[in-house]
């Protein structure tokens, strides 16, 4: 099998952990590097959580610590959603996997330059690390096949009326990425709010009968409650667990599940009411060429099946060890 080389940039985070589940369950993905940054919680916690989760699922991959603050803004985190530690009320494992001696920016730069094939970057947090990479080392752009980002929203935000969390936390980094010329797939709230599992399906996950599935279900149960308490959550969110970050990997391994269109996207950096908004040129008023494929729809049943298959694969592999 010709494997696709991938770098994952993340901020675990409950749905980041579920994204890593899908990514490491797929034989067609060759994950070269995982980098961490501040977002859902601090960089100390996202790095620990990554090492803990990857230790639990038995992965030996380089994990490099990234930046601790957005480029120009003060950091805002989401402990109210992901818990004080970042992974709800679940403890995965005491990390055996060790943090890399390389920083995230250096590790990404050197990994990209050393690769014979262009690499896909999966980004499921603020784009701080990637924006800094492209600013410091624009020569790596030809080495990046595309950036699959969970972030942004064409219509409706979760940090403000219009801004999604990952875009809101570091809009200046997102601006650097969207202006880079590197192909982008944007899995914004327009699609990720449709990529959910129900409470009943979460209980079916428990019935897979593995300790991994039990822990995953416990973690997502925590996530269900906290997501439903946010100011922009409709009442029915109490019955749904939205696996936002999983979309950034799912669209790579099962693109047939998603629908999207190419649009020009730019960032609102300073708006009094709209800072952090991803402005999608639906009506082509700017006259600018599209710079992103903006996803808007997902086959939810197919998405849930894909996610359950990943949980089954990881859970069974752990039982066999």
Q: Per residue in 87-143, pLDDT tens?
A: 988 999 999 999 999 999 999 999 999 999 999 999 999 999 999 999 999 999 999
pTM: 0.95
CA distance 305 to 85: 29
Confidence band, pLDDT 50/70/90 cuts, at residue 220? confident
Predicted confidence at residue 190, as pLDDT, reads: 97
Q: State pLDDT tens for residues 224-279.
A: 655 545 555 555 556 788 999 999 999 999 999 999 999 999 999 988 999 999 99
Cβ atoms of 263 and 290 within 8 Å: the answer is yes
Name residues whose C-beta falls within 8 Å of residue 310's C-beta, 6 or more positions apart in sequence.
21, 22, 25, 26
Domain range for 225 is 4-320
Predicted confidence at residue 133, as pLDDT, reads: 98
Q: Is 244 a catalytic residue?
A: yes
CATH number at 197 reads 3.90.245.10
Residue 2, CA distances (Å) to 75, 103, 116, 182 in order:
40, 29, 13, 23
Predicted confidence at residue 195, as pLDDT, reads: 96
Tokens 């080389």 belong to 5
CA distance 266 to 276: 10
Name residues whose C-beta falls within 8 Å of residue 150's C-beta, 6 or more positions apart in sequence.
19, 123, 124, 166, 187, 188, 192, 244, 245, 247, 248
Mean pLDDT of 265-294: 95
| Number of Cβ atoms within 10 Å of the Cβ of 274 | 15
CA distance 258 to 161: 25
Closest CA to 105 of 190, 37, 187, 186: 37
Domain count, the chain: 1
SS3 category, 148: strand
Percent with pLDDT over 90 in the chain = 84
Name residues whose C-beta falls within 8 Å of residue 64's C-beta, 6 or more positions apart in sequence.
33, 34, 35, 36, 99, 100, 102, 103, 104, 106, 107, 108
CA distance 2 to 127: 28
Name residues whose C-beta falls within 8 Å of residue 283's C-beta, 6 or more positions apart in sequence.
none
Residue 45 pLDDT more than 70?
yes
Backbone angles phi, psi at 273, to 5 degrees: -110, -10
Tokens 């947090």 belong to 125
Instruction: Given the residues 172, 193, 244, 284, select the one marked as catalytic.
Output: 244
Residue 168, CA distances (Å) to 41, 135, 150, 174 in order:
14, 19, 13, 9
């Amino acid at each position: 099998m010709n494997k696709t080389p991938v770098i994952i940039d993340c901020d675990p985070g409950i749905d980041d952990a579920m994204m890593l589940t899908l990514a490491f369950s797929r034989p067609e993905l060759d994950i070269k590097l995982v980098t961490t940054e501040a977002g859902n919680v601090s960089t100390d916690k996202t790095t620990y959580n990554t090492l803990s989760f990857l230790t639990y699922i038995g992965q030996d991959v380089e994990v490099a610590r990234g930046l601790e603050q957005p480029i120009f803004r003060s950091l805002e985190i989401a402990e109210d959603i992901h818990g004080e530690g970042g992974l709800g009320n679940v403890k995965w494992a005491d990390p055996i996997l060790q943090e890399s001696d390389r920083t995230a920016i250096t590790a990404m730069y050197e990994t990209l330059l050393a690769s014979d094939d262009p690499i896909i970057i999966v980004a499921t947090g603020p784009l701080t690390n990637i924006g800094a990479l492209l600013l410091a080392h624009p020569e790596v752009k030809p080495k990046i096949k595309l950036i699959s980002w969970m972030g942004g929203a064409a219509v409706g935000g979760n940090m403000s009326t219009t801004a999604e969390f990952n875009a809101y936390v570091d809009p200046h980094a997102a601006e650097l990425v969207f202006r880079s010329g590197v192909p982008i797939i944007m899995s914004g709230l327009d699609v990720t709010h449709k990529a959910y599992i129900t409470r009943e399906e979460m209980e079916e996950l428990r019935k897979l009968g593995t300790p991994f599935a039990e822990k995953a279900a416990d973690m997502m149960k925590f996530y269900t409650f906290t997501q439903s308490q946010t100011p922009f959550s409709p009442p029915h969110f109490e019955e749904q667990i939205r696996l936002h970050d999983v979309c950034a990997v799912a669209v790579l391994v099962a693109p047939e599940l998603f629908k999207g269109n190419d649009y020009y996207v730019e960032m609102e950096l300073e708006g009094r009411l709209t800072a952090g908004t991803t402005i999608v040129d639906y009506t082509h008023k700017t006259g600018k060429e599209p710079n992103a494929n903006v996803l808007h729809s997902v086959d939810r049943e197919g998405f849930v099946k894909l996610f359950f298959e990943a949980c089954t694969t990881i859970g069974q592999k752990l039982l066999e060890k």
